[in-house]
Amino acid sequence: MAGFAGRLGRCWYSGFLRSDYIIEQKALLAPLEQKTKFQQQELAANPLQVPALGLHVGGPAMQTSQKDFNKAVSQLKLLKEDPGNEVKLKLYALYKQATEGPCNVPKPGMLDFINKTKWDAWNALGSLSKEAARQNYVDLVSKLSASSESPSPEAPEADRKQPESDSLVVTSEDGITTIRLNRPTKKNALTTQMYHDVIAALQAASKDESAITVLTGSGDYFCSGNDLTNFTTLPAGGPEEMARRSAVVLRDFVNCFIDFPKPLVAVVNGPAVGISVTVLGLFDVVYATDRATFHTPFSHLGQSPEGCSSYTFPKIMGSSKAAEMLLFGKKLTAQEACAQGLVTEVFPDSTFQKEVWARLKAYSKLPPNAMRISKQIIRNREKETLHAVNAEESSVLRERWLSDECIAPACQPPSRIKLAVPSFSA
């Protein structure tokens, strides 16, 4: 087999191999045949080298995800830009976790700096499942691919992709981009199209000129959560395919909140249910009218938490208050949610809009880079954990949606709302 050096010219990872990047080992440039067994094992652990070695990435994981993972491993080689040392270290750790499971080798000595750094990164993933690690790896590669393909980080306003339906309205004014859920007759329940539109709107807002991004709702509700009719039309692959697709949409949707780089503010104009409550833990600031309520009837629907709430809620309000919400579906008033740290401040409904927007306009005049950088410092060290939590929650929900408890929940939502999931069994 030919050495790797000859193929390095065009790709960003030639820089990876030539730079003083902490994972770099000069040995990688030597032909494979000349490598020791240890070096070959190390190469196998290096995500960039696996396809070249033709290694099978083993493990008892699910087939679909395994295929995506293999694709991501190949895709990584095509990136045009070097993603930087921190990201490469993440890729290394996720690859090891995905293929070998939790770190199972002795910690290298203090002076073995390179291997110790790699070991630390792998070990930091703790008991993250192989499947979640694969998922995170795939997500990270797809994000890197998308950003290396995007023509310009500062796309002009006119090039922005507008939402596909009127159910989402995006406006930019006074340094604030506002994403408004606009389905008041259905209490702003989120259709599948709306999930996609919110994803696109957040991606556009992350690159536009605005300093602050706001999510709010039209009418008397902030949002009644997932539109329960989302599951009514089954695709050709049946319930399993429906659950698989929904889990992907959910994961992508929540990832956008995790990764959002600017101050993200929720203007909660009324009651909030389900996923519109759980993602609040990923916002920087949450302002609520005193009319708002917050509840997550997951157990009632045979479902389980999403939006990273299994991690953020216990952190924000303590495990017992979080359990009351996430396990028992306890509804909080705005004041209670504020006392528990989920809401930043509550305003009287009569002055809510006026007070909140005046305040946001003032904040939007602050130096935008300072706000971005401060947010990065506050949030970045948790991002990897949040992605792992999101992947796990989505994967658990995918199974929940096929469970008897979800198909025939003991506590039905209002009878007018036909729960989609029963149609799975049709």
Ligand X SMILES: CCCCCCC/C=C/C(=O)SCCNC(=O)CCNC(=O)[C@H](O)C(C)(C)COP(=O)(O)OP(=O)(O)OC[C@H]1O[C@@H](n2cnc3c(N)ncnc32)[C@H](O)[C@@H]1OP(=O)(O)O
* Residue number closest to ligand X, CB atom: 274
β-sheet bridge partners, residue 170: 179
* b/e burial code for range 387-407 (CB count within 10 A of at least 16 → b): bbbbbbbbbbbbebbbeeebb
Name residues whose C-beta falls within 8 Å of residue 276's C-beta, 6 or more positions apart in sequence: 188, 190, 222, 223, 224, 225
Q: Say whether residue 131 binds ligand X (CB under 6 A).
A: no
Chain centre to alpha carbon of residue 264:
15
User: For residue 261, which amino acid is it?
Assistant: P
- Pairing assessment for the beta strands 264-268 and 285-289 based on DSSP bridges: parallel
Interface of this chain with ligand X, residues 153 to 172, rule: CB under 6 A:
none
CB of 270 to ligand X, least distance (A): 10
Q: Say whether residue 392 binds ligand X (CB under 6 A).
A: no
CB of 415 to ligand X, least distance (A): 10
Cβ–Cβ < 8 Å for 231, 420: yes
Cβ–Cβ < 8 Å for 349, 289: yes
Chosen residue from 90, 118, 187, 398 binding ligand X by CB under 6 A: 187
User: For residue 135, which amino acid is it?
Assistant: Q
Pick the stretch among 58-66, 84-92, 106-114, 296-304 that binds ligand X (CB under 6 A).
296-304
Q: Say whether residue 197 binds ligand X (CB under 6 A).
A: no
Pick the stretch among 95-103, 147-155, 167-175, 246-254 that binds ligand X (CB under 6 A).
246-254
CB of 250 to ligand X, least distance (A): 4
Task: Determine the Cα–Cα distance for residues 138 and 57; give it in Å rounded to an integer.
Answer: 14
CB of 186 to ligand X, least distance (A): 4
Q: Say whether residue 275 binds ligand X (CB under 6 A).
A: yes
| Six token digits for residue 349 | 């409904």
User: For residue 63, which amino acid is it?
Assistant: Q
Cβ–Cβ < 8 Å for 114, 23: yes
Cβ–Cβ < 8 Å for 220, 184: yes
Pick the stretch among 48-56, 301-309, 337-345, 353-361 that binds ligand X (CB under 6 A).
301-309
Q: Say whether residue 93 binds ligand X (CB under 6 A).
A: no
Pick the stretch among 15-23, 243-251, 339-347, 377-385 that binds ligand X (CB under 6 A).
243-251
Chosen residue from 239, 274, 302, 409 binding ligand X by CB under 6 A: 274
* Residue with token string 């395919």: 241
Chosen residue from 46, 135, 203, 246 binding ligand X by CB under 6 A: 246
β-sheet bridge partners, residue 190: 226
Task: Determine the Cα–Cα distance for residues 362 and 375; give it in Å rounded to an integer.
Answer: 18
CB of 283 to ligand X, least distance (A): 16
CB of 294 to ligand X, least distance (A): 12
CB of 174 to ligand X, least distance (A): 31
CB of 25 to ligand X, least distance (A): 43
Nearest to 128 by CA among 390, 308, 392: 392
From residue 210 to residue 239, what is the string marking binding to ligand X with x (rule CB under 6 A)? Answer: --------------xxxxxxx---------
Q: Say whether residue 195 binds ligand X (CB under 6 A).
A: yes
Query: For ligand X, how many residues bind (rule: CB under 6 A)?
Result: 26
Q: How many CB atoms lie within 10 A of CB 411?
A: 10
Q: ∠ at Cα 282 (281, 283), nearest 5°?
A: 95
From residue 247 to residue 266, what is the string marking binding to ligand X with x (rule CB under 6 A)? Answer: --xx----------------
Nearer to ligand X, 73 or 275 (CB): 275
| Six token digits for residue 180 | 């408004």
Nearer to ligand X, 115 or 192 (CB): 192
3-state secondary structure of 57: coil
Interface with ligand X by CB under 6 A: which residues? 186-187, 189, 192, 195, 224-230, 246, 249-250, 273-275, 297, 301, 303, 306, 413-414, 416-417
